[in-house]
Chains A and B, each alone.
Chain A
Amino acid sequence: MRRSEVWVGVVILLSVVVAVAGSFWLRGYRLTRGTTTVEALFSGVGQLTDGASVKLRGVTIGRVNGIAVEPDGTAVRVGLAINADVRLPADAAVLIAPESMFGDWGAEIVSRSTNPRLDFFEPSDPAVLPGFSIPDLSRLTATADQIADNLATITDRVEIAFTQETAENLRLVIENVGGVSEQLAALVDAQIGAVDDLVENVRTSTSQVSEAAALATLTLAEVERLLSGGVVDSIVGDTRVTAAEFRRLATDLRETTTGLSTTLQYADSTLVRFERIGRELETGEGTLAHLLADSTVAVQTQSVLMQLTLLLEDFRENPGRYVRLSIF
């Protein structure tokens, strides 16, 4: 073998070794330490690139090894090649954040319980770690710029709206609010008293309800006793008999009412007659009026009555004189 061939081989092999070994070294691969790969899901990964550092408590324990969008496009799956001898927290999650202001991003494995406010992506596979990407500086700057614009707009509007008159109105409003506050305080005091009374009433009512409940309990016990002793059955029977008596009495009363109606009609006609007689008496017409107005008629009537009395006595003493009874 010629010397030139050896030298050519040396240069080529050396360059290949330098390129390959240097690349692996700069990518963080070490022959002396084994690695294991864990995966994490993110809604976005910002400017994270393949080969970015993975840290745990600030110590670099691996490298990002693969970034790919999920087939359904809803998340980004990031592979993390970390040292096999490193033990991750039980509730490990992955946080992606800029490592400096110059576009280099890194991943940090954190305990999720120490970052409760971060909205980690929730993977369905428990073997995949949840991930969260902190918005980069440009996005924060854009948001701050938008907030500044909004504040400027509000400031302009306040300047337009806030005149001397507005200030005076505001002062009046504040005074009114003070008065309303005092009234509200008085109202609240009154309501507190009313509420106290209400509470006392409720307390009293509660005790009464309690007593009534106790009494009801006793009553129910008595009712239960009566129900169990058959007393109610006898009462119901008596009530049924009484109801029948009432029904009969009502029938009699209805009949009596009907007779009473007839009687009232008779009384009515009688009263009509009495009224006519009264009018005749007043006018001096009729027999009775003549009797009342003419004393001779009265005397004659009295003598008639006496003769009738004598006749009756004679009739009692000598009935045969007046009555003849013959059967055939």
Chain B
Amino acid sequence: MPGKTLDFVGATGRAALRFAGTVGEWGVLMQDTIRGLRAVRIWRHLVFEQMMRIGVASVPIALFIAAFTGIVLALQASYTFTGAVPVYLVGSLVGKTMIIELGPVLTGLALAGRVGASIAAELGTMRVTEQIDALETMAYDPAAYLVLPRVLAGAVMFPAVTLLASALGIVAGWLTAIQLLEMSTPEFVRGLETFFVPFDVVFSVIKSFSFGLTVTSLGCFFGFRTRGGAAGVGRAATSAVVASSMVILVFDAFWAAVLL
């Protein structure tokens, strides 16, 4: 019995050390990435391509998710708000929820699955095929060449995609309200206006910016540390998605506690 307890304690310690080591490796990669900012000539031409792949290419899935989220929000709000609750609060709930919570978080999660997995798989493949080693051999800074464009693109494009997704979610909620819930446009707009403050948009941008940094940097990190061929690439993609999703939720709570 004492031996099993000791094994459990030892396993916990190993896991903690492994986690701390992983965080440290991520920190080292981010340090290299920040240092790579000086090599503008290397990453300057790559940023727009990554913006296209990470941001523009992700707009359809983000808008799709946001649109149906807005529809569901309006329907569930009207289902919940009965009796003495005024119907215009459907607009308040849809607007507020889409701007400060569901827009950034759902977009972040969706892009974590799409972008994070893609980055991890791509860089993982380059790692197992020793393309990254070849870059280092040719005196190319892998962080500046591979990581920095993706992180910058994610930091810029996540907020943009999130804002578009939030706007479309509100529009979808409004259409649902006037078509299915017998609400009028002024009622829905009144609800939107009632509790809206401009800081909500700033809050949404801050959150999605941090999500963009998280998803791209973790995707690059897990891609960079891929080992073991195709199976390793799959594990790296999975780890990137899981880790990104968890960190997104942690950041979601963190920003709510800090900024609201």
Inter-chain CA distance A258–B255, complex, in Å, is: 131
Contact of A4 with B192 in the complex, beta carbons under 8 Å: no
Q: Mark A91-108, 1 if CB is under 8 A from B, else 0.
A: 000000001111010000
Query: Residue B196 contacts which of A10, A15, A26 (CB distance < 8 angstroms)?
Result: A26
Expressed in whole angstroms, the minimum distance between the Cβ of A106 and any Cβ of chain B is: 9
Interface status of B71 (Cβ within 8 A of chain A)? no
Assuming A12-B160, A15-B161, A23-B201, is B89 touching A102 (CB within 8 A)? yes
Contacts of A2 in B (CB 8 A): 48
Give the interface residue-count category, chain B.
20 to 34
Contact of B197 with A51 in the complex, beta carbons under 8 Å: yes
Query: Residue A50 contacts which of B52, B95, B197 (CB distance < 8 angstroms)?
Result: B197
Query: Residue A12 contacts which of B85, B156, B196 (CB distance < 8 angstroms)?
Result: B156
Assuming A7-B56, A15-B159, is B196 touching A51 (CB within 8 A)? yes
Assuming A7-B52, A8-B48, A11-B160, is B194 touching A104 (CB within 8 A)? yes
Please count the residue pairs between chain A and chain B whose beta carbons lie under 8 angstroms apart in the complex: 73
Assuming A11-B55, A101-B84, A102-B86, is B48 touching A19 (CB within 8 A)? no
Give the interface residue-count category, chain A.
20 to 34
Interface status of A35 (Cβ within 8 A of chain B)? no
Q: Mark B180-222, 1 if CB is under 8 A from A, else 0.
A: 0000000000001111111001000100000000000000000
Interface status of A112 (Cβ within 8 A of chain B)? no
Assuming A15-B164, A18-B164, A104-B195, is B52 touching A8 (CB within 8 A)? yes
A56-88 CB contacts (< 8 Å) to partner B? none
Expressed in whole angstroms, the minimum distance between the Cβ of B67 and any Cβ of chain A is: 14
Contacts of B237 in A (CB 8 A): none
Contact of B197 with A8 in the complex, beta carbons under 8 Å: no
Inter-chain CA distance A4–B195, complex, in Å, is: 38
Contacts of A271 in B (CB 8 A): none
Interface status of A133 (Cβ within 8 A of chain B)? no
Expressed in whole angstroms, the minimum distance between the Cβ of A8 and any Cβ of chain B is: 4
Interface status of B51 (Cβ within 8 A of chain A)? yes
Contacts of B159 in A (CB 8 A): 15
Known contacts A14-B164, A15-B161, A15-B163, then 4 further A-B pairs from the complex at CB < 8 Å, ordered by chain A residue: A8-B157, A11-B55, A11-B157, A11-B164
A-B contact pairs, 16 of them (CB 8 A): A4-B48, A4-B51, A7-B56, A8-B52, A8-B56, A8-B157, A11-B160, A15-B162, A16-B160, A23-B198, A26-B192, A26-B193, A101-B84, A102-B85, A104-B194, A104-B195
Report which B residues bind A (CB closer than 8 A): 48-49, 51-52, 55-56, 59, 84-86, 89, 95, 156-157, 159-164, 167, 192-198, 201, 205
